């Protein structure tokens, strides 16, 4: 905690606290979840960066979408994302959430996750190793620092389009819209 | 002791059996005698229904339902080797319908729901014939060979627009 | 003679209600309210008076009515709660049939209790005691249906009690040939210990039944849950306390302080009974599923606290006992009224497993129930805390830690069942069928408002009620506690509520400011909830049934109500035996003639052998 | 003067509470053979929770969590820290025992209002566990109160300072052991972490606690650690006294400062031991926990009480 760190803390405690205390939602969405346990335990220890798995979305502000997103999981992802509290960031693992990856022609997986919930960062690699996850976290820090990790603001502003896309897929969702 | 193969042959007439493999017996029958065959084998001690699956023969315009039975406890037929009995039957592809075997084997329920959802075979007498895995419903069941998945992906996922940022004035 | 005229006026009023009510219905409610208010006003004006009047002579017995500080406090609580519950029952009984009968009985019970408290001699004490018993019986069986066996059980137990009291009075009259209480206390000193113990046992049976001490407690839970709510508020608030009044009268007024505590073993037995009465019903209350039955068991437990306070014998414990009587009357009546309001709105559903989420629809009743529960638990700044503190302090410092352990564990049992009451009725998911419940009507809210303000008021300024109690203790022969407005000042650890109040206020303000400084939170309804990524199934997401299931599995093997089972078994045995005897009456004349001849033969045989006559 | 002491003890308890939470995570990490977060990580978490837009389920949802924090802060004023004590002469141990009820009750009210079955299950488990270890705690307090013939904690600390610590005197060794056995249950540490089980019922009562509610809950959690261990040190390890070495300067400012330091060191020692227990034990089921608590610590405490009653 050198001197300019303390200066940053005093100037913008919200940014600094958001950076150094990212609690990830403990929800395995795809094949990438196998990378999370080694990254939070002894070998790679994510807790050094302040990342611990949060028991429920209300206490979390980081959502790791690990791997391909099937239609059934997308419903749970949207529900969990909407239950997370406001300054929230999402990171997509691998190429499947970007453009469908190797399931590009499957009838059951989502091609562009970005159409349904905002994603702040992507990690390349068909299941990135823990080191890659930590590099992504440091990039997320700089994004937060420069106020570019604004996925949640984008979600709030264009909620109508997001909601329309979600309803296009499922016909009708059984929970009311989040923002009027 | 008579072998299992002979027992089935003299009881059921239009049955083609081939026990070429070491511990597997294939039985092809018509769709009427499947249920009685399953019942008979269950009394013999083959009370474990391992799997129900369906094969789509598009060119003959038929589905092939496959039932795999095996026995947990050893009975007199097992003394030579552990045998799996695989029963196959053919049903027509249009308006595919078949009787449900839930009253014989309780655990057939999810298999039949899965085949109903992915192949469109309607099982008569099934208490809860509802979709099991898929979230949305497709007009042609996805596992059928004539379901063109690429065409579906193009016209279903393509027409979902990308989110354009509304540059609001504030 | 004012006292006598007051009683006559009240009785006449009660009858008037019944007959007037037949012709024009509106009159009975107004009359009931007016009479009970006048009674309350009249008793309030009698503060500080200390006189005795002979209002009637009956078969040579002089019947007296007397008023002193001791009976004034009890009379005030009786009339005050009677007035409030009659106001409560205005809307509660509106649509029920023959409520003229209900109002008449309600007034009878109040007047009878007033009579007991003002009775100067044992005969009029017994007369009012009987009036109270049967009018309670009529009120408990008001709902017919399942209320009849409950009221039957009550009336049998109270008849046994009154008979033993009658025998006690006659025996006392035979010993001291006077029934006037003030003279009794002088003569008692000359009677030998054996007779005194016998009289005490007889009276204790009568008062123990009323006070629901452990062996005689089993009439209370069914009676409470079957009686209409406003009456069960009185039943558990005041009627139980007639036993308390009786014990106080017996121990400290009739027999006097110095004799009672030299009867070796008596106080120990009573203390152990009190300890059992605290623990056993508390853990039974935790496992109840019906709101009013839970409150009934809690009344039995709290009556154990009061009984412990009275029978322990130091001035702190007696002061604590009387103060706890006052507090318990207030917060238990409040909780019964709150449950009555719920029952009124849900048309009679009060099963704790099917309610939930009522805070959204009836916030005021929730606030009243919460304050009542806080008083019941005895949190600081509520009145229950001061009285329990008094009882615990003397239990610990006078060297009986096991009794103190029973009392303290009772507190934690109280927390569990009062939280279960609040959680299962008010918190959690609101079931769909209670969507359109309205608020409690004003006539129900007003009594609850008054009672909850009193709880907080006495909690913060315990000095006010403690002054009255000090006067009572002095009349019993103890030397008074030095009471400041905010607590007790004594060498071995004192209590002042002002520190706790100041600290709580200051911290409260700081924390609320600290809480407000965070970002504004978003209000959300009960369906926007964490359900592991899926939407909430409409009806299957409330968890109020079998709230303490692990404790239930752990305890219910010990917690069957053995005493009740014992009573039922003995009753069945007696019925079986009587059936046997009934067979003698066969109905043919021949068999009767045969009995006579047989009997004569036996007589002759005895005469011949032993020539008895 | 009293106000100054109030503020001082409030600050000490809040800072030590947060320090304890950070220390627990650091020691757990060390045991897992990894680095673990910086000691001040709970502080960062609290600041982050404060800047999150929380979700509220109603008035009682807000009020309950405030009541529970008031309850735990209130208890701090009644506890003598070293020889700093602001209120310890107004009611003593009985008042402490009663104010200790306020904190779980407030938490129960607010989590009940969040209408989530996980919260209700968590709260019913928490209350049952508290009932079971309250049996033992009450007997321990009774044996102490009847041994020292007073109900004020301040006097108990003074008596211990003059004579021998109650943990060292053979009469009160058993209550001390019983207290140590139920310490993990009171702290909510692993063998008895039944109420706040994070995987099983997703953090039990605090399921719906979001931004500032979670902040208050964490501060409250830290405070409860502080209170439980401060009570133990006061009752059994003689508060701020170290075998009478510093009696010479006991009256002055430095005297109370040194006693405060000694007090905190003792607390850290006890806390570290309970964190070790927390690190190695699996989570018990509720029935096993109540059975265990109602058999071994309860019998030890009862024997202790009998000894104390038999002596005087």
- Among residues 41-80 of chain A, which lie with CB inside 8 Å of chain D? 41-42, 45, 47-48, 50, 55-56, 58-59, 61
Checking if the pLDDT of C229 tops 70, the result is yes
Give the separation between CA C576 and CA C593, rounded to whole angstroms: 27
Cα dihedral A154, A160, A162, A166 in deg (nearest 10): 160
Confidence of residue D89 (pLDDT cuts 50, 70, 90): low
Query: What residue ranges of chain A have pLDDT lower than 50?
Result: none
Mean pLDDT of C411-431: 90
Nearest CB neighbour to A48, from listed D35, D50, D52: D35
pLDDT digits (tens, 9 = 90+) for B127-139: 888 888 888 888 8
Whole-number Cα distances in Å, C164 to C167, C185, C201, C206, C310? 5, 20, 9, 6, 22
How far A72 CA lies from chain B's nearest CA (Å)? 6
* Buried/exposed code over D60-91 (b: 16+ C-beta within 10 A; e: otherwise): bbbbbbbbbbbbbbbbbbbbbbbbbbbbbbbb
Q: What is the mean pLDDT of chain D?
A: 87
Q: In this predicted structure, which of A87-91, B15-19, C157-161, C165-169 has the lowest mean pLDDT?
A: B15-19
* Beta strands D55-56 and C522-523, pairing class: parallel
pTM to 2 decimal places = 0.89
How far A170 CA lies from chain B's nearest CA (Å)? 6
Please indicate whether, in this complex, the C-beta atoms of C423 and D74 are within 8 angstroms of each other.
Answer: no
Note whether C263 and C193 are within 8 A (CB): yes
Instruction: Using a CB–CB cutoff of 8 Å, tell me whether B168 touches chain A.
Output: yes
Which residues in chain A have their CB less than 8 angstroms from residue D202's CB?
55-56
pLDDT digits (tens, 9 = 90+) for C352-388: 888 888 888 899 999 999 999 999 998 888 888 888 8
Which residues in chain D have their CB less than 8 angstroms from residue C554's CB?
287, 290-291
Give the side-chain half-sphere CA count within 13 A for D47: 16
Residue of A nearest to B150 (CA): A105
Give the side-chain half-sphere CA count within 13 A for D29: 24
Give the number of domains in chain D: 1
How far A118 CA lies from chain B's nearest CA (Å)? 9
**Nearest C-alpha neighbor of D247 from the set D141, D132, D161, D140:** D161
Give the separation between CA D220 and CA D203, rounded to whole angstroms: 15
Task: Name the percent of chain D lying above pLDDT 70.
Answer: 97
Please indicate whether, in this complex, the C-beta atoms of D210 and A47 are within 8 angstroms of each other.
Answer: no
Longest dimension (CA), chain A: 55
Give the number of domains in chain A: 1
Domain assignment present for C501: no
Q: According to the model, what pLDDT value does residue D179 have?
A: 93
* Domains of chain B from N-terminus onward: 4-157 (3.30.460.80)
pLDDT digits (tens, 9 = 90+) for C336-353: 999 999 988 888 888 888
Please indicate whether, in this complex, the C-beta atoms of B162 and A112 are within 8 angstroms of each other.
Answer: yes
Note whether D205 and D292 are within 8 A (CB): no
Confidence of residue B168 (pLDDT cuts 50, 70, 90): low
How far C536 CA lies from chain D's nearest CA (Å)? 10
Nearest CB neighbour to C554, from listed D66, D211, D287: D287
Please indicate whether, in this complex, the C-beta atoms of C551 and D70 are within 8 angstroms of each other.
Answer: no
Give the separation between CA B66 and CA D50, rounded to whole angstroms: 60
Whole-number Cα distances in Å, C111 to B55, B130, C119, D288? 88, 69, 12, 54
Please indicate whether, in this complex, the C-beta atoms of C532 and D202 are within 8 angstroms of each other.
Answer: yes
DSSP per-residue letters across D1-46:
-HHHHHHHHHHHHHHHHHHHHHHHHHHHHHHTTS----TTHHHHHH
Nearest CB neighbour to C428, from listed D53, D112, D142: D112
Q: What is the mean pLDDT of chain C?
A: 86
Please indicate whether, in this complex, the C-beta atoms of D48 and A21 are within 8 angstroms of each other.
Answer: yes
Q: Which two tokens stand for residue A93?
A: 């693992």
Domain assignment present for C278: yes
Give the side-chain half-sphere CA count within 13 A for C165: 26
Please indicate whether, in this complex, the C-beta atoms of C504 and D139 are within 8 angstroms of each other.
Answer: no
Confidence of residue B82 (pLDDT cuts 50, 70, 90): low
Domain assignment present for C534: no
Residue of D nearest to A25 (CA): D202
3-state DSSP assignment of residue C186: helix
3-state DSSP assignment of residue C313: coil
Domain carrying residue C596: 566-610
Q: Which two tokens stand for residue A139?
A: 């990039």
Q: According to the model, what pLDDT value does residue D88 have?
A: 63
Report for B43-47, B146-150, C462-466, C598-602: range of highest mean pLDDT: C598-602
Domain carrying residue D264: 2-311
Exposed, middle or buried by CB within 10 Å (0-12, 13-18, 19+), for D145? buried
Give the length of chain A.
180
Q: According to the model, what pLDDT value does residue D68 have?
A: 93
Mean pLDDT of C444-471: 89
Residue D56 bridge partners (DSSP): C523
Confidence of residue B77 (pLDDT cuts 50, 70, 90): low
How far A135 CA lies from chain D's nearest CA (Å)? 18
Tell which of A8, A11, A21, A80 to mutate to test the D interface (max D CBs under 10 Å).
A21
**Nearest C-alpha neighbor of D10 from the set D101, D89, D79:** D79
Q: According to the model, what pLDDT value does residue B70 have?
A: 85
Domain assignment present for C503: no
ipTM of the complex: 0.88
Give the side-chain half-sphere CA count within 13 A for C512: 10
Q: According to the model, what pLDDT value does residue C58 have?
A: 78
Residue A96 bridge partners (DSSP): none
Nearest CB neighbour to C550, from listed D62, D128, D210: D128
Q: Domain holding A132: CATH number? A: 3.40.50.12280
Which residues in chain B have their CB less than 8 angstroms from residue A171's CB?
136
Nearest CB neighbour to A80, from listed C519, C528, C533: C533
Please indicate whether, in this complex, the C-beta atoms of D134 and C412 are within 8 angstroms of each other.
Answer: yes
Domain assignment present for A150: yes
Note whether B122 and B141 are within 8 A (CB): no
pLDDT digits (tens, 9 = 90+) for C574-606: 999 999 888 888 778 888 888 899 999 999 998
3-state DSSP assignment of residue B25: strand
Please indicate whether, in this complex, the C-beta atoms of B157 and A162 are within 8 angstroms of each other.
Answer: no
Give the number of domains in chain C: 2
Give the separation between CA A62 and CA D211, rounded to whole angstroms: 14
Instruction: Using a CB–CB cutoff of 8 Å, tell me whether D159 touches chain C.
Output: no
Q: According to the model, what pLDDT value does residue D63 have?
A: 92
Q: According to the model, what pLDDT value does residue B113 have?
A: 92
Checking if the pLDDT of D165 tops 80, the result is no
3-state DSSP assignment of residue A117: coil
3-state DSSP assignment of residue D271: helix
pLDDT digits (tens, 9 = 90+) for C548-584: 888 888 877 777 778 888 888 998 999 999 998 888 8
Domain assignment present for A179: no
Give the separation between CA D191 and CA D83, rounded to whole angstroms: 34
Please indicate whether, in this complex, the C-beta atoms of D48 and A61 are within 8 angstroms of each other.
Answer: yes
Residues whose CB falls within 8 Å of the CB of residue C402, separated by 6 or more in sequence, listed in order: C275, D305
Please indicate whether, in this complex, the C-beta atoms of D51 and C530 are within 8 angstroms of each other.
Answer: no
Domain assignment present for C99: yes
Checking if the pLDDT of D69 tops 80, the result is yes
Domain carrying residue A88: 9-170
Nearest CB neighbour to C493, from listed D152, D211, D215: D152
Please indicate whether, in this complex, the C-beta atoms of A158 and B134 are within 8 angstroms of each other.
Answer: no
Please indicate whether, in this complex, the C-beta atoms of D90 and C416 are within 8 angstroms of each other.
Answer: no
Domain assignment present for A31: yes
Q: In this predicted structure, which of A67-76, C70-79, D110-119, D243-252 has the lowest mean pLDDT?
A: D243-252
Which residues in chain D have their CB less than 8 angstroms from residue A87's CB?
51-53
Give the separation between CA C283 and CA C297, rounded to whole angstroms: 9
Q: Which two tokens stand for residue D200?
A: 């099983």
**Nearest C-alpha neighbor of C393 from the set D151, D65, A101:** D151
Mean pLDDT of C82-90: 90
Q: According to the model, what pLDDT value does residue C164 have?
A: 92
Confidence of residue D86 (pLDDT cuts 50, 70, 90): confident
Neighbours of chain D (3+ CB pairs under 8 A): A, C
Domain assignment present for C485: no
Instruction: Give me the total of CB pairs closer than 8 Å, taking one residue from chain A and one from chain C.
Output: 21
Checking if the pLDDT of C432 tops 70, the result is yes
């Amino acid at each position: 905690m050198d001197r300019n760190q303390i200066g940053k803390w005093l100037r913008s405690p919200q940014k600094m606290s958001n950076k150094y205390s990212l609690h990830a939602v403990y929800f395995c969405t795809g094949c990438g979840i196998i990378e999370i346990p080694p990254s939070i335990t002894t070998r790679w220890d994510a807790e050094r960066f302040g990342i611990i798995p949060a028991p429920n979305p209300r206490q979390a502000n980081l959502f790791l979408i690990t791997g391909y997103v099937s239609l059934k999981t997308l419903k749970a992802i949207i529900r969990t994302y909407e239950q997370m509290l406001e300054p929230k960031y999402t990171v997509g693992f691998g190429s499947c959430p970007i453009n469908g990856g190797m399931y590009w022609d499957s009838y059951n997986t989502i091609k562009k996750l970005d159409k349904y919930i905002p994603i702040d960062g992507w990690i390349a690699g068909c299941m990135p190793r823990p080191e890659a996850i930590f590099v992504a976290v440091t990039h997320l820090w700089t994004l937060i620092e420069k106020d570019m990790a604004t996925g949640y603001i984008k979600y709030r502003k264009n909620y109508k389009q997001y909601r329309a896309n979600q309803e296009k897929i499922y016909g009708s969702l059984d929970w009311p819209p989040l923002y009027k | 002791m008579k072998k299992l193969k002979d027992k089935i042959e003299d009881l059921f007439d239009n049955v083609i059996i081939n026990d070429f493999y070491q511990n597997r017996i294939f039985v092809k029958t018509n769709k009427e005698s499947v249920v009685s065959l399953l019942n008979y084998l269950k009394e013999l001690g083959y009370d474990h229904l391992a799997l129900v699956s369906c094969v789509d023969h598009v060119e003959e315009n038929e589905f092939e339902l496959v039932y795999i039975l095996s026995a947990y406890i050893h009975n007199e037929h097992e003394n030579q080797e552990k045998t799996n009995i695989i029963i196959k039957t053919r049903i027509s592809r249009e308006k595919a319908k078949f009787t449900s075997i839930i009253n014989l084997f309780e655990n057939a329920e999810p298999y039949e729901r899965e085949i109903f959802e992915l192949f469109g075979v309607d099982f008569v007498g099934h208490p809860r014939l509802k979709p099991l895995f898929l979230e949305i419903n497709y007009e042609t069941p996805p596992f059928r060979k004539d379901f063109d998945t690429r065409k579906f992906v193009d016209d279903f996922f393509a027409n979902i627009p990308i989110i354009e940022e509304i540059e609001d004035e504030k | 003679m004012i006292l006598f005229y007051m009683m006559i006026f009240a009785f006449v009023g009660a009858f008037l209600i019944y007959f007037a009510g037949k012709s024009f219905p509106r009159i009975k409610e107004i009359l009931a309210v007016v009479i009970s208010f006048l009674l309350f006003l009249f008793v309030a004006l009698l503060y500080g008076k200390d006189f005795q009047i002979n209002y009637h002579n009956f078969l040579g017995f002089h019947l007296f009515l007397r008023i002193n500080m001791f009976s004034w406090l009890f009379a005030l609580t009786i009339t005050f709660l009677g007035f409030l519950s009659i106001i409560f029952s205005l809307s509660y009984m509106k649509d029920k049939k023959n409520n003229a009968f209900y109002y008449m009985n309600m007034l009878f019970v109040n007047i009878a209790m007033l009579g007991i408290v003002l009775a100067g001699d044992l005969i009029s004490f017994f007369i009012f005691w009987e009036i109270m018993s049967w009018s309670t019986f009529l009120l408990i069986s008001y709902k017919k249906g399942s209320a009849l066996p409950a009221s039957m059980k009550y009336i049998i137990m109270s008849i046994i009690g009154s008979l033993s009291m009658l025998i006690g009075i006659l025996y006392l009259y035979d010993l001291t040939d006077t029934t006037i209480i003030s003279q009794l206390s002088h003569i008692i000193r000359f009677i030998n210990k054996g007779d005194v113990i016998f009289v005490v046992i007889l009276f204790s049976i009568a008062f123990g039944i009323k006070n629901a001490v452990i062996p005689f407690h089993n009439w209370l839970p069914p009676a409470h849950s079957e009686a209409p709510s406003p009456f069960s508020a009185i039943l558990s608030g005041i009627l139980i306390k007639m036993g308390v009044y009786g014990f106080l009268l017996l121990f400290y007024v009739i027999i006097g302080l110095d004799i009672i505590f030299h009867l070796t073993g008596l106080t120990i037995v009573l203390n152990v009974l009190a300890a059992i009465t605290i623990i056993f019903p508390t853990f039974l209350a935790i496992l109840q599923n019906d709101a009013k039955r839970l409150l009934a068991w809690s009344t039995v437990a709290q009556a154990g606290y009061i009984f412990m306070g009275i029978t322990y014998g130091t001035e702190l414990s007696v002061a604590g006992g009387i103060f706890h009587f006052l507090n318990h009357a207030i917060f238990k009546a409040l909780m019964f009224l709150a449950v009555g309001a719920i029952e009124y709105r849900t048309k009679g559903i009060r099963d704790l497993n099917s309610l939930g989420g009522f805070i959204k629809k009836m916030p005021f009743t929730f606030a009243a129930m919460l304050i009542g529960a806080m008083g019941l638990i005895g949190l600081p700044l509520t009145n229950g805390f001061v009285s329990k503190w008094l009882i615990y302090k003397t239990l610990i410092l006078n060297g009986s830690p096991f009794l103190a352990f029973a009392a303290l564990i009772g507190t934690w049992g109280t927390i569990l069942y009062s939280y279960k009451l609040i959680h299962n009725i008010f918190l959690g998911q609101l079931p769909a069928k209670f969507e359109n419940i309205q608020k409690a009507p004003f006539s129900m809210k007003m009594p609850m408002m008054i009672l909850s303000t009193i709880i907080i008021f006495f909690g913060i300024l315990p000095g006010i009620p403690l002054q009255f109690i000090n006067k009572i203790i002095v009349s019993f022969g103890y030397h008074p506690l030095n009471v400041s407005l905010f607590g007790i000042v004594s060498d071995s650890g004192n209590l002042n509520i002002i520190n706790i109040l100041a600290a709580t206020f200051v911290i409260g303000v700081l924390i609320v400011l600290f809480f407000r400084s965070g970002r504004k939170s978003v209000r959300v309804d009960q369906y926007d909830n964490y359900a592991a990524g899926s939407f909430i199934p409409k009806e299957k997401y409330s968890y109020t049934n079998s709230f303490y299931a692990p404790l239930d599995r752990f305890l219910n093997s010990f917690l069957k109500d053995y005493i009740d089972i014992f009573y039922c078994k003995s009753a069945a045995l007696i019925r079986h035996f009587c059936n046997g005897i009934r067979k003698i009456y066969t109905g043919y004349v021949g068999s009767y003639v045969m009995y006579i001849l047989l009997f004569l033969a036996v007589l002759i045989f005895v005469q011949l052998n032993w020539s008895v006559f | 003067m009293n106000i100054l002491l109030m503020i001082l003890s409030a600050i000490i308890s809040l800072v030590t509470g947060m320090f304890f939470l950070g220390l627990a995570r650091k020691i757990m990490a060390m045991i897992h053979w990894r680095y673990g977060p910086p000691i001040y990580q709970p502080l960062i978490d609290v600041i982050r929770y404060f800047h999150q837009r929380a979700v509220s389920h109603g008035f009682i949802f807000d009020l309950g969590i405030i009541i529970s924090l008031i309850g735990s802060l209130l208890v701090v004023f009644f506890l003598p820290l070293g020889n700093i004590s602001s209120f310890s002469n107004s009611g003593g141990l009985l008042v402490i025992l009663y104010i200790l009820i306020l904190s779980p009750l407030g938490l129960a009210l607010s989590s009940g209002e969040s209408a989530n079955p996980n919260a209700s299950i968590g709260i019913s488990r928490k209350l049952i566990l508290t009932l079971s270890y309250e049996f033992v705690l009450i007997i321990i307090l009774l044996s102490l109160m009847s041994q020292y013939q007073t109900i004020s904690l301040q006097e108990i600390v003074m008596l211990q300072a003059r004579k021998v610590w109650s943990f060292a005197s053979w009469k009160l060794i058993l209550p001390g052991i019983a207290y140590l056995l139920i310490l993990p249950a009171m702290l909510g540490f692993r063998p008895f972490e039944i109420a706040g089980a994070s995987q099983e019922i997703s953090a039990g009562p605090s399921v719906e606690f979001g931004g500032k509610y979670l902040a208050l809950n964490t501060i409250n959690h830290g405070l409860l650690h502080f209170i439980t261990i401060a009570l133990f040190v006061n009752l059994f390890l003689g508060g701020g006294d170290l075998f009478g070495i510093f009696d010479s300067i006991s009256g002055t400012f430095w005297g109370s400062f040194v006693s405060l330091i000694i007090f905190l060191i003792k607390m850290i020692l006890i806390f570290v031991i309970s964190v070790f227990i927390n690190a190695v034990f699996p989570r018990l089921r509720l029935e096993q926990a109540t059975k265990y608590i109602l058999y071994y610590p309860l019998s030890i405490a009862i024997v202790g009480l009998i000894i104390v009653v038999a002596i005087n």
